[in-house]
Amino acid sequence: MSSAISVRRLTKDFHVGLRGVKLRAVDDLSLEVPRGQVYGLLGPNGCGKSTTLKVVLGLVSATSGEVSLLGEPYASPGARRRIGFLPEAPYFHKFLSGRELVRYCARLSGVVPSDLGSAVEKALALASMTTAADRPVGTYSKGMLQRIGFAQAVVHDPELVILDEPTAGVDPIGSAAIGDMIRAMRDKGKTIVLCSHLLGQVEQVCDRVAIMDRGKLVLEGRVEDVLARRDRHVLTVEALTPAARAAAEAALQSHGAVLTSVTHPRRSLEDLFRELVTGSRDA
Amino acid sequence: MRRHLRWIAPAVLLLAAGTCAEISWRAVRPAIPEIGRKELEPTLGQGVLLGVLGGLRTVIADLTWIRSYVLWERKDRPGCETLMRAACALDPHSRYFWENSAYAIGFDMAHWDIRRRGGYDKVPAETQRRLFHAYARKGIALLEDGMGHAKVTTPLLLTAAQLAELKLQDHPLAIAYYRRAAEAPDGPWFAARICAQVMWEAGRQEEAYRWFRDYWTERMRGREDGFPDDLQRLRTMEEALRITPGRRIERQAWER
Amino acid sequence: MNASFRRIDWIARITFLEAVRQRFFAFLLVLGVAMVLSSVSFRVFDFGHGELKFIADFGFGGMFFFGSVLAVVMTAQLFFSEIDNKTALTLLAKPLSRWEFLFGKFAGAWAMLGVFVFVLAGLLGLVLWSRETELLALAEQTGRIPATFSLSGLAWYALLQWLRLGVVIAVVLSISALARTFLFAVVVGSLAVVAGQLQWIAQDAVLKPTDSPLYEAFLWLTTRLLPNLQQFNLGDALVLGSAGVPAGATGEVVLSGLLYVAAYLALGAVVFRRREI
């Protein structure tokens, strides 16, 4: 089976100013996004992540290189029917209610009228937006906007979901909710491409990651493989006394191993926050 | 190559639209007489452009007319004439603008011109006569233009007749205009009387009597009170022409 | 094709809803309505054109002037709000072609102007009818020829104005597809409307013989590139019967208007296809 996304030697130049000075946003990029996985596309601002996604979606034309999407040439309507996309900092027509918005997007995505009602309700439920679905989009918080954006992206049950910075500006509770939605989609066998610079979240939900810098791919692989340091180990010990520590150090030395540091393990601030704050006010 | 092929559809459609518009324009052009008139060119910078573009033409014509009155008070001949002609062009269906512009040009402007040249004492009589004739002709030409557009033309014929009679002293022309005015369906009663009078004074007495008699018989006798004053005028003509009693208009029951 | 039509329909619906909810639309509609109604009180200002003509002219002016402003500003605004707010990113990532997006925008904006034109035309018809009734009664007393207007002529005139505004929308959309900023689209769109209203000067010149083939070619090209918007201004002739319009001529005007709409939309679609969102 072909990859969900296949990018081969993609280059994208922008011409800026009256003199048409060339600005290279993506430079000879090649990558394959396998099906059924959560794929993280990482990199600092301006590294070419969003431009790559826009080329993939046919919103921007490539200067050179090839892109295929679910086995079809990029940007073909057939391919786009099988994709869901949540852009960065999404903005929707404020006068529509959440339900109307998802319904509108469902119609544009080709959902047939007989399936419309159930598809909309399913997407709203997946995004935990059922209770707020009748409020105008203009009254939504940032987290709710991201969640209704997620609902509109998945309402037509796409094979591939592309999320551009889905948690930007969202509080940890909302961020965790979006993480849960991503995992739920993966469990259904969907492919998810997550473009973000929030490394913690990517680490938590992604199966594979690619890191871009200045338009180039600098690292790509499975998350465990790229993060693991095979020459270092972590032991977690309870009730460690100075005597026990000295004995352990001596035992390790006798096997040729060296204890390099002893520290207290820390939980992440996000874990602490989630422990203290039971739920988002948006829900 | 494929990229360039995409431009063919809009190009062909534009060509078709342009050709179709040329045909439709030929058909509807006469129905929009307000535009394309040379009279508007000098005034385009004075708010008249909006009227030329479309809509509000009547309102702009009114404003132009009001402004022309200010210049009429100041006896500014070129300015007044330009604005009056612009008002006529903006609303060519209005009798009012044509009629009053012709009055101003034909009757007033020759006097202004004579004053500008130094007054009646300084300007030679021949020049004065030439000026009166020139402005009267301009007025009549304007009225002729207006008759092609205005809905109601009889008052324009009467104004032209007055200019021809009083300023040009061209009696055949004045008679022709009075006659057309009198014979128009909405011709006023006095037009026929004046027409007959001018004909009479021009030495065409026989013709004046015959025409006025026919006119009175067909259009006046049966209306209102039968127009006794006009019958009286016809009796005077019969006397002057020594028409035998048998060939005169038969005596009316109500006649004194 | 059916699926395309449905997508265009949805874009049009949302565009229409967005347009009619804007205060700018309501403001110009209220101004237009006030203009038609005020014509009754300004009757004393009239110099013998005939009251009905004076009243009709106010209505024609409102439809022409405020309609043109709405067509230029609202169309550019509806297009650039999608681009600037990045809602276009969400929509165009769906199986929605760019030409469908553009056609949907056109249909939505045109529907909004349909509401504007037909509300004003309906109101104008009402004012003209009520005054005509009074004038007919007056004419009966005085024995004068009464002034009348044609209701079917007014309906035709409203249709032609709507079509003219459709051409303006299509022109502004094709400019917007190329323009980078809202301001550029509004300024160039307004100039295009003025040029379109004055296109007949070139059209009249084309119909006259000329010695210069170069000048003739220039005029020919001008008349093909710019739409003739003046041909739709048949208000006096159709509503007040000031001049006869030959049989079939109105149909020819409608056909050329529809062809202009198709041509400028096709042009906009080709330009928009290459635009980077």
* Concatenated DSSP letters of A107-148: HHTT--HHHHHHHHHHHHHHTT-STTTTSBGGG--HHHHHHH
Q: What is the dihedral of CA B105, B109, B113, B118, to 10 degrees?
A: 170
What's the pLDDT tens digit per position in A163-175? Answer: 988 887 777 887 8
Asked whether the beta carbons of residue B17 and residue C256 sit closer than 8 angstroms, the reply is: yes
Average pLDDT over residues C49-76: 89
Asked whether the beta carbons of residue C93 and residue A83 sit closer than 8 angstroms, the reply is: yes
Q: Which is it for strands A160-164 and A83-86: parallel, antiparallel or unpaired?
A: parallel
Selecting from A58, A87, A107 the residue whose C-beta is nearest the C-beta of C10 gives A107
> What is the spatial distance between Cα A136 and Cα A144, in angstroms, rounded to a whole number?
11
CA distances from A114 to A106, A271, C11, C99, C165 (A): 12, 43, 20, 27, 37
Q: Which residue did the predictor score with more confidence, B50 or A52?
A: A52
CA distances from C92 to A54, A108, A156, B192 (A): 10, 10, 15, 79
Confidence of residue C174 (pLDDT cuts 50, 70, 90): very high
Q: Are C193 and C79 in contact (CB under 8 A)?
A: no
Cite the beta strand spans of B164-250 per DSSP E.
none
Q: What is the pLDDT of residue C44?
A: 67
For testing contact with chain A, the best of C80, C89, C96, C103 (most A CBs within 10 A):
C89
Q: What is the pLDDT of residue C214?
A: 85
For testing contact with chain A, the best of C14, C85, C90 (most A CBs within 10 A):
C90
Number of alpha helices (DSSP H) and beta strands (DSSP E) in chain C:
11, 0
> What is the spatial distance between Cα B227 and Cα B229, in angstroms, rounded to a whole number?
6
Q: What is the pLDDT of residue A106?
A: 94
Q: Computed over its alpha carbons, how large is the radius of gyration of chain C? A: 21
Taking the CA of residue A169 and the nearest CA in chain C, the distance in Å comes to 17
Selecting from C14, C86, C276 the residue whose C-beta is nearest the C-beta of A87 gives C86
By C-alpha distance, the chain A residue nearest C78 is A93
Q: Are B160 and B102 in contact (CB under 8 A)?
A: yes
Q: What is the pLDDT of residue B189?
A: 84
DSSP A155: T
**Environment class of residue C81 by beta-carbon count within 10 Å: exposed (0-12), middle (13-18) or buried (19+)?**
middle
Residues 195-214 on C with a CB inside 8 Å of B are 197-198, 200-201, 203-204, 206-207
> What is the spatial distance between Cα C130 and Cα C151, in angstroms, rounded to a whole number?
12
Q: What is the pLDDT of residue C1?
A: 64
Average pLDDT over residues A231-254: 86
Selecting from C64, C230, C235 the residue whose C-beta is nearest the C-beta of B35 gives C230
Query: Is residue C114's pLDDT more than 50?
Result: yes
pLDDT tens for each residue of chain B, 256 residues long: 666 788 899 999 999 999 999 899 988 888 887 776 666 666 555 555 666 666 678 888 888 898 898 899 988 999 999 999 988 888 888 888 999 999 999 999 999 999 999 989 999 999 999 999 999 999 999 999 999 888 788 999 999 999 999 998 899 999 999 999 999 888 888 899 999 999 999 889 899 999 999 999 888 777 777 778 888 899 999 888 888 888 888 887 777 6
Q: Which residue's entry shows tokens 């612009």?
A: B86
Mean pLDDT estimate for chain C: 89
Confidence of residue C222 (pLDDT cuts 50, 70, 90): confident
C35 contacts on B by Cβ (under 8 Å): none
| Secondary element (H or E) of residue C110 | helix C98-142
Taking the CA of residue A258 and the nearest CA in chain C, the distance in Å comes to 55
Residue A280 included in any domain? no
**Which amino acid, one-letter code, is at A108?**
L
Does the CA dihedral A234-A236-A237-A242 come out positive or negative?
A: positive
Query: Is residue A283's pLDDT more than 50?
Result: no
Long-range pairs for B216-223: beta carbons < 8 A, 24 or more residues apart? B216/B192, B216/B249, B217/B249, B219/B192, B220/B189, B220/B192, B221/B252
> What is the spatial distance between Cα C238 and Cα C60, in angstroms, rounded to a whole number?
12
C95 contacts on A by Cβ (under 8 Å): 77-78, 80-81, 108-110
Q: Which residue did the predictor score with more confidence, B37 or A218?
A: A218
Q: What is the pLDDT of residue C66?
A: 93
Taking the CA of residue B61 and the nearest CA in chain C, the distance in Å comes to 9
C198 contacts on B by Cβ (under 8 Å): 52-53
* B254 in contact with chain C, both atoms CB, cutoff 8 A: no
CA distances from B113 to B65, B106, B107, B123 (A): 21, 12, 11, 10
CB environment A169-182: b (16+ within 10 A), e (fewer) = ebbbbbbbbbbebb
Taking the CA of residue C87 and the nearest CA in chain A, the distance in Å comes to 6
Closest-CA residue to C268 (of C86, C76, C108): C76
Number of alpha helices (DSSP H) and beta strands (DSSP E) in chain B:
13, 0
Taking the CA of residue C47 and the nearest CA in chain B, the distance in Å comes to 7
Residue A32 included in any domain? yes
Least confident segment among A53-62, A65-74, C68-77, C120-129: A65-74
Q: Which residue did the predictor score with more confidence, C20 or C46?
A: C20
Q: Are A207 and A176 in contact (CB under 8 A)?
A: no
C3 contacts on A by Cβ (under 8 Å): 110
By C-alpha distance, the chain C residue nearest A161 is C93
By C-alpha distance, the chain A residue nearest C84 is A91
CB contacts < 8 A, A to C, total 72
Look at chain A and report how many structural domains it folds into: 1
Asked whether the beta carbons of residue C94 and residue A105 sit closer than 8 angstroms, the reply is: yes
Phi, psi torsion values for A168, nearest 5 degrees: -60, 125
Phi, psi torsion values for A77, nearest 5 degrees: -55, -30
Q: What is the pLDDT of residue B39?
A: 63
Asked whether the beta carbons of residue B16 and residue C263 sit closer than 8 angstroms, the reply is: yes
Q: Which residue's entry shows tokens 């006794």?
A: B228
Asked whether the beta carbons of residue B32 and residue C57 sit closer than 8 angstroms, the reply is: no
B29 contacts on C by Cβ (under 8 Å): 200, 204
Q: What is the pLDDT of residue A257?
A: 87
Q: What is the pLDDT of residue A272?
A: 63
Least confident segment among A35-44, A117-126, C51-60, C111-120: C51-60
Q: What is the pLDDT of residue A161?
A: 94
HSE-CB at C247 with a 13 A cutoff on CA atoms is 0
Q: What is the pLDDT of residue A171?
A: 78
For testing contact with chain B, the best of C51, C223, C226, C252 (most B CBs within 10 A):
C252
By C-alpha distance, the chain C residue nearest A15 is C276
3-state secondary structure of C73: helix
Q: Are A148 and A102 in contact (CB under 8 A)?
A: yes
Query: Is residue C42's pLDDT more than 80?
Result: no
- Cα three-residue angle A65-A71-A77, rounded to 5 degrees: 90
HSE-CB at A199 with a 13 A cutoff on CA atoms is 8
Closest-CA residue to C63 (of C22, C24, C28, C23): C28
Confidence of residue A281 (pLDDT cuts 50, 70, 90): very low
Q: What is the pLDDT of residue A275?
A: 65
Average pLDDT over residues A195-221: 85
By C-alpha distance, the chain B residue nearest C223 is B18
Mean pLDDT estimate for chain A: 85
Domain span at A52: 5-229
Closest-CA residue to C20 (of C89, C112, C90): C112
Chains that touch A (3 or more CB pairs under 8 A): C
3-state secondary structure of C212: coil
Q: What is the pLDDT of residue A93?
A: 87
Q: What is the pLDDT of residue B54?
A: 67
B55 contacts on C by Cβ (under 8 Å): 57, 60-65, 233, 235
CATH of the domain at A70: 3.40.50.300
The token duo for A282 is 């948006």
Residue A156 included in any domain? yes
